Every structure is written in C-alpha cells, then in structure tokens.
A and B are shown apart, each in its own frame.
Chain A
Amino acid sequence: AQSVTQLDSQVPVFEEAPVELRCNYSSSVSVYLFWYVQYPNQGLQLLLKYLSGSTLVKGINGFEAEFNKSQTSFHLRKPSVHISDTAEYFCAVSESNFGNEKLTFGTGTRLTIIP
C-alpha cells in the first residue's frame, strides 16, 4: 500500500525567504506524485505533478519540486515566498496502474509567511 509522510506540520518563513516543504512516500510500484495547495475554506488546487521524465518539475506560482527515487522524496521548493503563499500544502501519491487513480495524501504542512 502507498503512503505519504510530510515531515513538518507547520513551517513559518519570512517574506521573500526561500522555503522547502518535505515529502517522502512509500510504494511498491511506480508512482505519480503531486503537490496541492489549499487556501482557507477552499478546495484543493494542483501546484505541480510528476508523472515521468525530468525529475525537476515546475509548477504554478513559482513553485518547483524534485523527484528523488532513491530517497523516495518529492520536496517542494520556492526561492522567494510572498504573503499570498500562506496556505496548507498537501503532497499526494497515485500508483501508476491504470484502473484506479486514487490519491493518497499526506497530513499537510501549514506554511505561514511572516511579514
């Protein structure tokens, strides 16, 4: 069975500083990896995804993530954060066997930007 671990439940960062949100996964088969953002009282919005190919994935709002198969990690990074990045971030994994594309989510990381 697949699982996702987000190592930090809360991350405070000063505005314009860089940030890394950590994600590790466990699966016995090939996976697809995703990062979603959730603003207060809203649904989930896809930031970026890794399906195959280049291990460095660029997403919306200046975020990027790197897939590391040997370390089973998919950490999210942004070189300079803004107040508007304050939100909950979820890492998710989907096993790449066609027929059931359920997403397994981590417990989330709350990113707080300090002015």
Chain B
Amino acid sequence: DAGVTQSPTHLIKTRGQQVTLRCSPISGHKSVSWYQQVLGQGPQFIFQYYEKEERGRGNFPDRFSARQFPNYSSELNVNALLLGDSALYLCASSFRLADEQYFGPGTRLTVT
C-alpha cells in the first residue's frame, strides 16, 4: 500500500510569494496533520484536520491556512512568505484522531 505522499518534493520561492503544498493520506485515513520542521529542530504542529474539519491549530500566524478535501487529501497554503518559513513541511495521516500518525517524506521549502 502507498504511504503518505507529498508534493512537490522541493520548492524555491521568493519573499512575499504564496505557496501551496499538497498531501495525500494513506488510503482509508481520515485525519491529516501538518508540521513545520526548521533545520536542526523538531517538527512543530501547524494544523490537524479530521473529516474535513479543523480540529487543531498550532501557534502559527494567519498567513498559514489549510483545508481538507472530500477525498481526505489536504493542502497547506502559506501567504506572504518570509525567509523564516524555509523549512521541511511534513504531513501525517491517521485513520482516526487517536491513532498512530504516519508521516510523509516532506516538502522542502526554501524562501530566498
């Protein structure tokens, strides 16, 4: 079975631009979470969605937004990019809210 997939793998953007990252969960999984991992640090929670509803939000500015589609895939949008947004963005899926989270390989975003 396919694991969590994310696209694109790498991305280079300029300050002030907008970016959309995509995540497809494991088939049958209804919960998707997003994490930001800055180089040298642990992942930080951004959002969690379950059954297309936002169930949790981390301490990130309103420039960050996300949504989950009827097929349970998800998009993370970041507006007005800053240099500090450069990071590995990880998506994780689980069957239900209380289940083990499976992580994708991540999208490496570089803001110049």
Contacts and interface: CB of A to CB of B under 8 A. Distances in A.
B98 A98 contact: yes
21 contacts: A42-B105, A43-B105, A43-B106, A44-B90, A44-B103, A46-B101, A46-B102, A90-B42, A98-B97, A100-B55, A101-B56, A101-B94, A101-B97, A102-B58, A103-B35, A103-B43, A105-B42, A106-B42, A107-B41, A107-B42, A108-B41
Contact of A43 (B33, B41, B48, B104): B104
Max chain B C-beta neighbours (<10 A), residue from A36, A49, A100, A104: A100
Contacts of B56: 100-102
Interface string A44-61: 111001000000000000
B94 A45 contact: no
A40 to B, nearest CB: 12
Nearest to B56: A100
A99 B97 contact: yes
Contacts, number: 60
Contacts of B98: 98, 101
A53 to B, nearest CB: 15
Interface of B: 4, 31, 33, 35, 40-45, 48, 55-56, 58, 90, 92, 94, 97-98, 100-106
B45 A103 contact: yes
Given A98-B97, A98-B98, A99-B97, A44 B45 contact: no
